A and B are shown apart, each in its own frame.
Chain A
Amino acid sequence: MSLVADSPVSSSGSDDFAEFLDGHLDAGSENEDDGEAKREVASSSSSSSSSEEEFEDDDQPVSKRTKIPEAEIVQNGDGLEGSASHVIVKQNLETSSSASVSKNECAHPGSFGKLCVRCGAQVEVAGVSFGNIHKEILFGNAEVARWRDTDTKSVLCRRKLYLVLDLDHTLLNSTHLKHMVPEEDYLNNQIDSIQDCQNGSLFRLSFMNMMTKLRPYVHTFLKEASQMFEMYIYTMGDKAYALEMAKLLDPRNEYFHAKVISRNDGAQRHQKSLDMVLGDESAVLILDDTEHVWPSHRDNLILMERYHFFASSCQQFGFGCHSLSQLKSDESEPEGALAAVLSVLRRVHHIFFNELAGQTGRRDVRQVLNTVRKDVLKGCRIVFSRVFPSKFPAESHPLWKMAVNLGATCATEVDPTVTHVVAMDPGTKKSRWALEKDKFLVLPRWIDGANYLWQRLPEENFLVKSNEPKAEAKVKDSVV
């Protein structure tokens, strides 16, 4: 049942394959270079044993053939089978041996599929795996440091910084179709076509069984940010999801290209790191809704308020309240979180490139971020009332630290310089003092709001109301 006419391969078994190759490709007298400089004829066995071949004996004849020193060829070395026809090729290989580095000298800058990218030997390189480029590619630390350096310089020259964006709850909100509640059925009529990525915000991805809602203002945000930042996506979703979302956010592939990092690319499961971002730490800003995934880069992080559009998202976080889809509303574009963050990014960019331009020392975007942050509640002196447990050291409470980071000063006792009293209950001693002295009496959420929206929000929206069931309880009127 042979469909092919006489093939030159006469061997009839897999074992013969190796022998066949041996016979046809064997170079006879085996001589190899140890290093480019050495021109002497060395015995092959020592050098061939140093080269780690994946294939067994089959490959040996081939490699030896390509490494025959020039001297041999000139003498027209005896016993070289087929050497005459290959002389010119070999000479070329020899003269260009400087291009392909010999295995003993190679510094193995990186590996692809466990093969050194410079010399082709099998190596184990310790370094950073760039899963977002290819799952098998890995570069050593020295090489990565070099890349990072050159890339950072070129990006700074173009007056840009780096921005790492999280996907879920930051730029968009996704849900499985089976997790949608009946109240969300009206959304099925409002789905935007996937072709309409430029303007659409609600997409149904049937092949992934998901529905995705992009956060309001996201298209403008990305467009403006791309002029000031080199952007990366870093998500804890899997690669397929990440690439689909990148297509929705960036239909013309102008922002991200291969700079989409997903869960499997990272070294650790539940943590993110800047290893795969080719920018120096001092030039990277991160936008994420979760703080604990960035343990070593908290200073680079701008914490985003979570975007809960779908009911499943609220349930996931244990909130009993209704999500935006159930309330049939959405975040407002001009006043939403993305708009606020965009203005912060603009400020940081401006300070970094315009005000710090004269500095020859290393400018650090983290310090700039801190400066901008300390501007938010500058001039406020805050006292907390019954917000912390009594025996708790007040200075270590997250709310205290947040207020300090935002530029306010905090105190434990009231005095004439205090401007704000933060409490849950208008009946405490400090609360009543605040009302008497006409100071602002606000809920702790006021500080959270300042943290997310990077501005001192109007205190009127966060006034502490009394617990009594009065209809319109204005603070000034409530007395307990």
Chain B
Amino acid sequence: MFFHIVLERNMQLHPRHFGRNLRDNLVSKLMKDVEGTCSGKHGFVVAITGIENVGKGLIRDGTGFVTFPVKYQCVVFRPFKGEILEAVVTMVNKMGFFAEAGPVQIFVSNHLIPDDMEFQSGDMPNYTTSDGSIKIQKDSEVRLKIIGTRVDATEIFCIGTIKDDFLGVINDPTA
């Protein structure tokens, strides 16, 4: 799920950046540091949308660096257990399939794929129903439910299921 929240961070700035462009330098450094990172609490920071305020800078003892507390607004993405998401399938094998929803990698094991879908190996490995009407293969879009999440330093791992009602393929790329 996406959230638009305000976060705070202490940014350290080297004196060479002081001057007329101090604020711009600060903002670009913030963007470089924060966009694309992950944290357990907020999830994945997708983009910074604005700076709310920049506090007074404090010079650190011993070095010339100055620390500014910056409050900024950003869009974050964090998957929750029980959440329903749409994802794109990236790899299919006999143990299940991998799907991606933005920065999140989701694995759906074959235990959590409906029993009437069988794995077919070959050029384009896929899961197909017995009558061939529904197929899950690479680049298919599926709706799945998250049943477990874990956040690493830079990645979020999730386990998903499509065994419940209303879950499964939304869009077949070959159709």
Q: Report A's interface with B, CB cutoff 8 A.
A: 1-4, 7, 9, 11-14, 17-18, 54-56, 58-59, 62-63, 65-66, 92-93, 96, 99-100, 109-110, 112-122, 130, 133-134, 136-137, 139, 147, 151, 253-254, 257-258
CA distance A130 to B166 in the complex (A): 31
Which of B10-18, B45-53, B129-137 binds A? B45-53
Contact B157 A136 (CB under 8 A): yes
Contact B111 A11 (CB under 8 A): no
Residue in B41, B93, B109, B147 whose CB lies within 8 Å of A14: B41
Residues of B within 8 A of A66 (CB): 81-82
Smallest distance from the beta carbon of A439 to chain B beta carbons, Å? Answer: 55
Q: Which of B103-150 contact A (CB under 8 A)?
A: 105, 107, 109, 111-112, 123, 125, 145-150
Contact B49 A133 (CB under 8 A): no
Contact B6 A115 (CB under 8 A): no
Check: B77 CB closer than 8 A to any chain A CB: no
CA distance A110 to B8 in the complex (A): 38
Of chain A, the residue at the smallest CB distance from B161 is A100
Offer 8 A-B interface pairs, CB within 8 angstroms, sorted by A: A2-B52, A14-B5, A17-B42, A54-B40, A100-B147, A113-B155, A115-B159, A134-B98
Residue in B49, B112, B123, B151 whose CB lies within 8 Å of A100: B112
Residues of B within 8 A of A114 (CB): 150, 157
In this complex, the member of A59, A121, A134 whose beta carbon has the largest number of chain B beta carbons within 10 angstroms is A134
Check: B22 CB closer than 8 A to any chain A CB: no
Check: B7 CB closer than 8 A to any chain A CB: yes
Residues of A within 8 A of B163 (CB): 96, 99-100
Contact A109 B81 (CB under 8 A): no
CA distance A26 to B96 in the complex (A): 33
Residues of A within 8 A of B52 (CB): 1-2, 12
Smallest distance from the beta carbon of A250 to chain B beta carbons, Å? Answer: 12
CA distance A62 to B166 in the complex (A): 20
Residues of A within 8 A of B125 (CB): 257
Residue in A56, A134, A147 whose CB lies within 8 Å of B94: A147
Residues of B within 8 A of A133 (CB): 91, 93, 95
Residues of A within 8 A of B158 (CB): 115
Q: Which of B75-92 contact A (CB under 8 A)?
A: 80-82, 91
Of chain B, the residue at the smallest CB distance from A259 is B93
Smallest distance from the beta carbon of B25 to chain A beta carbons, Å? Answer: 15
Smallest distance from the beta carbon of A121 to chain B beta carbons, Å? Answer: 6
Smallest distance from the beta carbon of A357 to chain B beta carbons, Å? Answer: 24
Residues of B within 8 A of A147 (CB): 94-95
Check: B165 CB closer than 8 A to any chain A CB: yes
Residues of B within 8 A of A258 (CB): 91, 93
CA distance A253 to B51 in the complex (A): 49
Q: Which of B1-57 contact A (CB under 8 A)?
A: 3-8, 40-42, 49-52
Residue in A62, A92, A130 whose CB lies within 8 Å of B81: A62
Contact A13 B159 (CB under 8 A): no
Known: A13-B8, A258-B93. A109 touches B111 (CB 8 A): yes
Contact B80 A59 (CB under 8 A): yes
Residues of B within 8 A of A11 (CB): 5-6
Known: A119-B147, A121-B148. A100 touches B164 (CB 8 A): yes
A11-B6, A133-B93 given; 16 more Cβ-contact pairs under 8 Å: A1-B52, A9-B3, A12-B6, A62-B82, A92-B164, A92-B165, A110-B95, A112-B107, A113-B105, A113-B107, A114-B157, A115-B157, A117-B109, A119-B147, A134-B91, A136-B157
Residues of B within 8 A of A139 (CB): 95
Residue in A58, A65, A96, A120 whose CB lies within 8 Å of B164: A96
Smallest distance from the beta carbon of A28 to chain B beta carbons, Å? Answer: 17
CA distance A257 to B147 in the complex (A): 29
Contact B148 A63 (CB under 8 A): no
In this complex, the member of A14, A62, A112, A121 whose beta carbon has the largest number of chain B beta carbons within 10 angstroms is A112
CA distance A344 to B140 in the complex (A): 43
Check: B171 CB closer than 8 A to any chain A CB: no
Residues of B within 8 A of A117 (CB): 96, 107, 109, 111-112, 159
Residues of A within 8 A of B91 (CB): 133-134, 258
Contact A1 B51 (CB under 8 A): yes
Contact A113 B150 (CB under 8 A): yes
Of chain A, the residue at the smallest CB distance from B40 is A55
Smallest distance from the beta carbon of B112 to chain A beta carbons, Å? Answer: 7
Residues of A within 8 A of B71 (CB): 12-13
Q: Which 3 A-B pairs have the closest CB atoms?
A: A120-B148, A113-B157, A120-B147
Of chain A, the residue at the smallest CB distance from B84 is A89
In this complex, the member of A13, A100, A120 whose beta carbon has the largest number of chain B beta carbons within 10 angstroms is A120
CA distance A137 to B125 in the complex (A): 19
Contact B41 A55 (CB under 8 A): yes
Check: B61 CB closer than 8 A to any chain A CB: no
CA distance A118 to B51 in the complex (A): 42
Contact A113 B152 (CB under 8 A): yes
CA distance A14 to B50 in the complex (A): 16
Check: B67 CB closer than 8 A to any chain A CB: no
Residues of A within 8 A of B51 (CB): 1-2
CA distance A62 to B1 in the complex (A): 13
Of chain B, the residue at the smallest CB distance from A111 is B159
CA distance A422 to B54 in the complex (A): 87
Contact A122 B148 (CB under 8 A): yes
Residues of B within 8 A of A1 (CB): 50-52
